[in-house]
Structure 1
Amino acid sequence: MAQTPTSRGREQDRARVAGGQDHEVKYEATKEGVSKDAVKKAVKSAGNSRKKVEAEIGRR
């Protein structure tokens, strides 16, 4: 489904936001039009599911 193999043979899950990965936080912040701090707070409160993070950001 949302998983695609990387060049190292590992699975990559695009349905999740890695709150510790600056590039993923920056991408999500730019996409949603919010600060990186807001994305990190959303990941912390809603979990790392991309849909839940986007819903949490929409509530603020």
Structure 2
Amino acid sequence: MADDLERRGPEDKNKISLTEPWEVRYWTNRFGVTEAQLRECIRRVGNGTAKVAQCLGKSWP
């Protein structure tokens, strides 16, 4: 199945995936961080959005 090029956000906002470039862009823009900062926090705390937001010092609903 082909990728949906119109996708604007992740399917599961409770997990951060680094496998798709568009999703990396989404999360770096959402949190206002660099890709390196995002990857480092995911390496340290896992890919749960709430934990990554806390690691980055950002709010998450």
Q: Comparing both structures, which one devotes a greater share of its residues to strand?
A: 1
TM-score (norm 2): 0.65
TM-score (norm 1): 0.66
Q: Distance in 2 between matches of 1:20 and 1:46?
A: 17
Number of equivalent positions: 48
Q: State the structure with more CA Rg.
A: 1
Q: Which runs of 5+ in 1 are unaligned?
A: 1-11
Q: CA deviation at 1:31?
A: 0.9
Q: Comparing both structures, which one devotes a greater share of its residues to helix?
A: 1
Q: Which runs of 5+ in 2 are unaligned?
A: 1-10
Q: Distance in 2 between matches of 1:53 and 1:18?
A: 12
Structure 1: 4+ residue segments shifted above 3 A: none
RMSD: 1.7
SS at match of 1:13: coil
* Equivalent residue number for residue 14 of structure 1: 13
Q: Distance in 2 between matches of 1:22 and 1:46?
A: 21
